[in-house]
Each structure stands twice: as structure tokens, then as C-alpha cells.
Amino acid sequence: MEPGHWPSEHSDALRDYFRRGMSYAEIGRQINARFGTAYTRNAVVGRAKRLGLIVPVRTASPSIVPLLPSGACLFLPHRPALLNLPPKSAMKPAAQVKLRCVGVRPRLVPLVELAGEDCRYPYGGDKDGEEITFCGHPREPGSSYCTPHARLTRRAGAGSARVAGPVVLRLVSAA
């Protein structure tokens, strides 16, 4: 049997098992046992789609099922309605996060105008189509950022700032 070709008996069995509400993995096991084939679950899903048994329903979020105006859900009739909803505590709005802030008035330099010694701390790009610009103040030696932004990007309590400098290697004789 060539890949992708399903004999009509196999397709008929798939339709029958699908109407019984069996899972795709179980349908694959039943067809493989009955016909001596080696179809995977994904092969069964793909064939079911090509046969028109699966109607894709686009939703805004995979964990939320849209409701019809009548209040009925858009469930496929052959599958039991199992929703994997998060707990109600997860649906509450998150508490506001206090952001660390520095007293820097950025120059808002575009990337193409950024010089080699300018701070590369990004600004913007949060909204669709918003241009990303950079701080542009002189950067700290050994860092990509100016002094206030370098402090902002380091974890709190991480100890003193590491100052990058030249690495000195010494050759020593082996004993």
C-alpha cells in the first residue's frame, strides 16, 4: 500500500468508528487490527479531514468554546464535550507589577542611526506598526547600555556590577 492511499474499506471503517464517537487513536488501532495496517493517529486525523468528517472551527483561544446566540456550544456531535478550562483563580486579572524605572530621557535613536558607542536599550514596538528606537546615550564600557540602563537590566541583589576588561593570560611551565 502506498502512503496516503486509503482503500475504500478503510475509509468506510473510519466513518463508522467516527460516528460511534471513538477517539482518533482508537480508530487507528481498530483499523490496524482489522485490516493489518499501520496507520498512525495523525494519519487517521488527516484522512478524516479529507473525508470531510472534521469541520475546523476557528476560535480566538483554544481553551474557550464560542457560544451561539441560542446559548448552545459549537461542539462536534461525535465527540464528548471535554473542556480543559483553567481554574477560576487563573481567570482573575493579575495584580499590577511595579516596574523598576530609571531617570533617563532617551534620545529615541532609530537602529540605522545608532552609533557604535550608543546605548542599545530598546523603546517602543509594543503596538502593531510602532517603530523600535533605542536610548542612544553613551554606553558604559564593556556594556551595551548606558549606566542607568545597565543597572536596570541587572537582577536586583546580584552583587556588584561586573566590569568587563581585558583578559590577561599567563603562560606557566608545567611541572
- Give the DSSP H or E segment for 133: strand 133-134
Residue 162, sorted as left (phi over 0), alpha (psi -120 to 50) or beta, turns out to be beta
Per residue in 37-54, pLDDT tens? 999 999 999 999 888 887
Q: What is the pLDDT of residue 1?
A: 39
Q: What is the DSSP letter of 140?
A: P
* Cell numbers linked to 8: 475504500
Average pLDDT, the chain: 77
Percentage with pLDDT > 90 across the chain: 31
What CA–CA distance (Å, rounded) separates 7 from 31?
A: 12
Q: What is the DSSP letter of 49?
A: H
What CA–CA distance (Å, rounded) separates 145 from 136?
A: 9
Per residue in 118-157, pLDDT tens? 999 998 888 888 889 999 999 988 889 998 888 887 766 5
pTM: 0.35
Helix segments in the chain, DSSP class H: 8-19, 24-35, 41-50, 147-153
Provide the β-strand partners of residue 112.
Answer: none
Locate the domains of the chain by residue range: 8-50, 109-153
What CA–CA distance (Å, rounded) separates 106 from 136?
A: 7
Per residue in 81-108, pLDDT tens? 555 666 666 667 777 777 666 678 888 9
Question: Which residue do the cell numbers 550608543 mark?
Answer: 118
